Chains A and B, each alone.
Chain A
Amino acid sequence: MSAPQLSEIQTFEHDVIVIGAGGAGLRAAIECSAQGVNTGLICKSLLGKAHTVMAEGGMAAAMGNVDARDNWKIHFRDTMRGGKFLNNWRMAELHAKEAPDRVRELEEWGAVFDRTKTGLISQRNFGGHRHPRLAHVGDRTGLELIRTLQDHGIHQGIKVHMECTILDLLKDGDRVCGALGYWRDTGRFVLFKAKAVVLATGGAGKAWRITSNSWEYTGDGLAMAYLSGAELLDLEFTQFHPTGMVWPPSVRGTLVTEGVRGDGGILKNSEGKRFMFNYISERFAPETADTEEEANRWLKGDKSARRPPELLTRDEVARAINAEVKAGRGSEHGGVYLDIASRLPAEQIRKKLPSMYHQFKELAEIDITQQPMEVGPTLHYCMGGIRVDAETQMTTVPGLFAAGECAAGLHGANRLGGNSLSDLLVFGRRAGLGACEFAKGTAEPKIDEAQVQASIKRATEPLNRESGTNPFVLQEQLQDMMSRNVGIIRTKAELEAALTDLEKLGEQASTVKAHATSQYNAGWNTALDLRNLLISSEAVSRAALMREESRGAHCRDDFPGERPEWLKYNIYVWRDGNGSMKVEKRERPEPPALLKEIANSKIEDLEAGKVAGDA
């Protein structure tokens, strides 16, 4: 395949382009359009298919519809505690304050949430959330969110570019000025000229073998931002969701919603024992039930009872499952049992968890109203990502913004379930506003042909080689390596081995061969995604090696437990002038006094409104 001239490449001009059309990207694009700027929305798949559809449990927002004691301060405190206090304080504050309005706005655009008895939006319990807080639609909340944004967005004048993969961001001096991509169906290159760019590309889950993520999640945003000079943050925190399917092999890793536990589901080992009572950490002990009797009372709505330990934060539950399996008390296929059948009548299970019922029936031939599910940890989410400004979501590159999973800060060391969908809306909107502001105040950028040609050259190499490595094989090798060396429990030796292996895999990636033409060619597409996966994997490994403690989702076998001195630092990753990856710990700024007070307050005081004023 030969390189086209710049004038021959199809070109679109927008004020703002949004790369990625899950919840964050759609919300950002809607905001841009509402502000009257010319907006292009680019998606790797068809519109409405992004991984947001897989979010099941709900959207966290302290509306207080089910328990009037809830308020933004408690949501903020829960988020900080779940994130082990490494979160960006301001982002956690904005998120807790703005989430209820974003939920109401979604309803205004046509979303149909489950209702309370008085007709309000119902809210459910979830891990780490003190009160019932997740607005939901059965166990398909993500689908409701994305479809609502899609059906609203198509009437807002956004130009949607479907099945278009972005290869590289383009820069004009220090600032971003557009992106080069290709159409999946034809393989032809396409140029987007823009005054501002919003990345909403999701995570890098496809770097692991057992993951709930689909083919799209190859760390594109992380890698492109990194290569453009942006800083990455908190990469060592990769969330293993405690409950992925483990059997049959073809669905290993597919998500089983936390809603199962929110609705009363319990975890048991091969001895039939409800083991989570043995894994309650000090931080959560005062707020967690220590007997089955108390846990059951809580589930029935007794407000004096404490929460069941199955609803501890995801990092804690995932490690507990991992420990049970390692101790030889695992299920037949190497997981543990998640039992809802003995907890709720069959009819209620089908009503509350219809898609889980369907998923197990069709894929595992298991009737969850009769039998327990087999579950185990699955790589689910990257807390880390591109470093952004809390208010505007701008990265350290002028004109480049990021929102949703590809951005970092809100979730700290561990994300609470339900805080992702609200994150997408709160910060998708803010990124849209930030990008508009930037675009309105800036001159027309210039495209540098040399950058475009370099990107095209890289993209066409795998097609032009005579022979080379099979891209699917290389991707599998990377996934196996990352699952082995950068898994749920980490050590120095394994992380160093990962870095050595990544170097070798990187060399192989430069000899990868894609057969046939560039038209809708899965092999070629996979070959091109490898660079992004490798950069993301290296950033995760380097940050994980540096953090010598166990905190949240990052667990070091050789450095057990949280170390107070590490609470002072976040880890940053960036690319230096010579093109090599730099990693550094930097001191966290002191939080505002009020936020510090809220985060450390007793829950009873917050519920009683004893903690000072709304900022």
Chain B
Amino acid sequence: MSERTFRVWRGDKNGGQFVEYKIKTDPGMVVLDAIHRIQAEHATDMACRWNCKAGKCGSCSMEINGKPRLSCMTRLNTFEPGTTITVQPIKTFPVIKDLVTDVSWNYEQNKRIKPFTPKPRDADGNHRMMQEDVDRIQEFRKCIECFLCQDVCHVIRDHGRKDAFVGPRFMVRLASLEMHPLDTADRIPEIRKEFGSGWCNITRCCTEVCPEHIGITDNAIIPLKERVVDRYYDPIAWFLGKVMGKKA
């Protein structure tokens, strides 16, 4: 058993500061375990969100030594022994208290997206889709809504343009609908306008932080940008595609 020092941001919307805590550590501990130990032994009122503790629910997003991470999947032995570990809330969303931020904006964005609109079922009551046709959207549906991609997106984080761009998470959601073999709705106009696909300048920061390793930029955002381009800047090809029955 050894000891380690943590610098944890404590405060609320009116401001705050880093507070140092020294705790004993066990083999295999992750940052979330350390936060829990600090809560139990030093600061019972400390706020942090968590649920599954296995990287499946996306609740415990934090910035650890400056890097946006899931704290339940960040092992202490990935840091230099003896060094202090700094933990703070994700920066892009307003702080509620300590490590907890107000992520309700994300829930509002999801509501703006036109829901799944399936074509009719086959005569026997089933839908048929081939595995190879759903592989790519199954990748998108792995998203656990940790919002780390939203946290690092330059458009949202650095330029504060929540009004203009829906963010990587919801580009992934849009891609999962647009590429769904059964879906019949058209979301290309709003992807271009309301959801602001043009704002993404493909720095791939979102892809880098995704704990589910979703190819956010290459597999979701770029194909959506291409669909927008095809529609608005190559309307003849789009029209032919439409006539030939191919989904844009």
Distance in Å from the Cβ of B104 to the closest Cβ of chain A?
A: 8
B50 CB contacts on chain A under 8 angstroms: 214-215
Give the residue name and chain of the B residue nearest to A255 (CB): B54
CA distance A46 to B61 in the complex (A): 13
Interface assignment of A522: CB less than 8 Å from any CB of chain B: yes
A515 CB contacts on chain B under 8 angstroms: 44-45
Interface assignment of B234: CB less than 8 Å from any CB of chain A: no
Contact A247 B28 (CB under 8 A): yes
Given contacts A49-B58, A120-B126, A363-B73, are A520 and B47 in contact (CB under 8 A)? yes
Q: Which of A362-401 contact B (CB under 8 A)?
A: 362-364
Contact A143 B128 (CB under 8 A): no
A473 CB contacts on chain B under 8 angstroms: 40
Interface assignment of B145: CB less than 8 Å from any CB of chain A: yes
Binding-face segment, B110-118, B193-201, B235-243:
B110-118
Interface assignment of A483: CB less than 8 Å from any CB of chain B: no
Contact A362 B128 (CB under 8 A): no
Proximity string of chain B (29-62) to chain A, C-beta cutoff 8 Å, 1 when within and 0 when not: 1100100000110001111111111111111000
B131 touches which one: A46, A108, A114, A519 (CB < 8 A)? A114
Interface assignment of B129: CB less than 8 Å from any CB of chain A: yes
A155 CB contacts on chain B under 8 angstroms: 111, 115
Contact A115 B57 (CB under 8 A): no
Interface assignment of B216: CB less than 8 Å from any CB of chain A: no
Distance in Å from the Cβ of A196 to the closest Cβ of chain B?
A: 26
Given contacts A147-B141, A154-B111, are A54 and B56 in contact (CB under 8 A)? yes
Contact A214 B49 (CB under 8 A): no
Q: Which of A141-160 contact B (CB under 8 A)?
A: 143-144, 147, 151-152, 154-155
Distance in Å from the Cβ of A75 to the closest Cβ of chain B?
A: 18
Give the secondary structure class of B's interface: loop
B28 touches which one: A114, A250, A471, A524 (CB < 8 A)? A250
Size category of the B interface is: 35 or more
A50 CB contacts on chain B under 8 angstroms: 51
Most buried by A among B98, B126, B143: B126
Count contacts on A: residues with CB < 8 A to the other chain.
Answer: 65
Distance in Å from the Cβ of B175 to the closest Cβ of chain A?
A: 13
Given contacts A46-B49, A109-B116, A137-B138, are A472 and B39 in contact (CB under 8 A)? yes
Interface assignment of A48: CB less than 8 Å from any CB of chain B: yes
Interface assignment of B205: CB less than 8 Å from any CB of chain A: no
Interface assignment of A302: CB less than 8 Å from any CB of chain B: no
Interface assignment of A419: CB less than 8 Å from any CB of chain B: no
CA distance A41 to B138 in the complex (A): 28
A519 CB contacts on chain B under 8 angstroms: 12, 47, 97
CA distance A535 to B180 in the complex (A): 47
Given contacts A215-B51, A521-B45, are A363 and B142 in contact (CB under 8 A)? no
Give the residue name and chain of the B residue nearest to A50 (CB): B51
A526 CB contacts on chain B under 8 angstroms: 44
Distance in Å from the Cβ of B118 to the closest Cβ of chain A?
A: 6
Q: Which of A340-371 contact B (CB under 8 A)?
A: 355, 358-359, 362-364
Give the residue name and chain of the B residue nearest to A247 (CB): B28
Contact A137 B130 (CB under 8 A): no
Distance in Å from the Cβ of A162 to the closest Cβ of chain B?
A: 8
A248 touches which one: B28, B102, B144 (CB < 8 A)? B28
Interface assignment of A587: CB less than 8 Å from any CB of chain B: no
Distance in Å from the Cβ of B13 to the closest Cβ of chain A?
A: 11
Interface assignment of B103: CB less than 8 Å from any CB of chain A: yes
Given contacts A143-B144, A362-B75, A471-B44, are A152 and B116 in contact (CB under 8 A)? yes
Contact A107 B127 (CB under 8 A): yes
Contact A185 B96 (CB under 8 A): yes
Give the residue name and chain of the B residue nearest to A249 (CB): B26
B125 CB contacts on chain A under 8 angstroms: 104
Distance in Å from the Cβ of A112 to the closest Cβ of chain B?
A: 5
CA distance A239 to B137 in the complex (A): 35
Interface assignment of B107: CB less than 8 Å from any CB of chain A: yes
Interface assignment of B149: CB less than 8 Å from any CB of chain A: no
Give the residue name and chain of the B residue nearest to A111 (CB): B141
Contact A45 B45 (CB under 8 A): no
Contact B129 A250 (CB under 8 A): no
Distance in Å from the Cβ of B116 to the closest Cβ of chain A?
A: 4
A520 CB contacts on chain B under 8 angstroms: 47, 96-98, 100
Interface assignment of B27: CB less than 8 Å from any CB of chain A: yes
Given contacts A249-B28, A471-B44, are A363 and B39 in contact (CB under 8 A)? no
Q: Which of B59-83 contact A (CB under 8 A)?
A: 59, 73, 75
Given contacts A155-B111, A250-B26, are A522 and B55 in contact (CB under 8 A)? no
A524 CB contacts on chain B under 8 angstroms: 45
A147 CB contacts on chain B under 8 angstroms: 141, 143, 145
CA distance A4 to B125 in the complex (A): 55
A119 CB contacts on chain B under 8 angstroms: 128-130
B56 touches which one: A112, A248, A355 (CB < 8 A)? A355
Give the residue name and chain of the A residue nearest to B29 (CB): A250
CA distance A121 to B118 in the complex (A): 16
Interface assignment of B19: CB less than 8 Å from any CB of chain A: no
CA distance A603 to B118 in the complex (A): 38
Proximity string of chain A (97-112) to chain B, C-beta cutoff 8 Å, 1 when within and 0 when not: 0000000100111101
Give the residue name and chain of the B residue nearest to A517 (CB): B45
CA distance A517 to B12 in the complex (A): 12
Contact A53 B57 (CB under 8 A): yes
A249 touches which one: B27, B45, B58, B141 (CB < 8 A)? B27
Distance in Å from the Cβ of A69 to the closest Cβ of chain B?
A: 18
CA distance A364 to B54 in the complex (A): 11
B177 CB contacts on chain A under 8 angstroms: 110
Give the residue name and chain of the A residue nearest to B77 (CB): A365
A143 CB contacts on chain B under 8 angstroms: 56, 141-142, 144
Distance in Å from the Cβ of B248 to the closest Cβ of chain A?
A: 20
Proximity string of chain A (505-518) to chain B, C-beta cutoff 8 Å, 1 when within and 0 when not: 00000000011110
A254 CB contacts on chain B under 8 angstroms: 53-54
Most buried by A among B57, B107, B126, B131: B57
Interface assignment of A523: CB less than 8 Å from any CB of chain B: yes
Given contacts A53-B144, A152-B116, are A45 and B59 in contact (CB under 8 A)? yes
Contact B129 A110 (CB under 8 A): no
B29 CB contacts on chain A under 8 angstroms: 248, 250
B33 touches which one: A216, A250, A359, A476 (CB < 8 A)? A250
Contact B134 A115 (CB under 8 A): yes
Give the residue name and chain of the B residue nearest to A251 (CB): B28
Interface assignment of A430: CB less than 8 Å from any CB of chain B: no
A137 touches which one: B56, B59, B129, B141 (CB < 8 A)? B141
Contact B54 A472 (CB under 8 A): no
B59 touches which one: A46, A114, A364, A476 (CB < 8 A)? A46
Q: List 24 A-B contacts (CB under 8 A).
A: A46-B107, A48-B145, A49-B52, A49-B59, A53-B144, A54-B56, A108-B127, A109-B116, A110-B177, A112-B129, A115-B130, A140-B56, A144-B141, A162-B104, A214-B51, A214-B53, A249-B27, A251-B54, A363-B73, A471-B44, A472-B40, A515-B44, A516-B44, A524-B45
The 5 closest A-B pairs by CB, nearest first: A248-B28, A523-B44, A119-B128, A110-B116, A520-B47
New A-B contacts (13) at CB < 8 Å, excluding given A48-B145, A363-B30, A515-B44? A48-B57, A49-B57, A53-B144, A108-B127, A110-B118, A110-B177, A120-B128, A152-B116, A162-B107, A214-B53, A250-B30, A521-B47, A524-B45
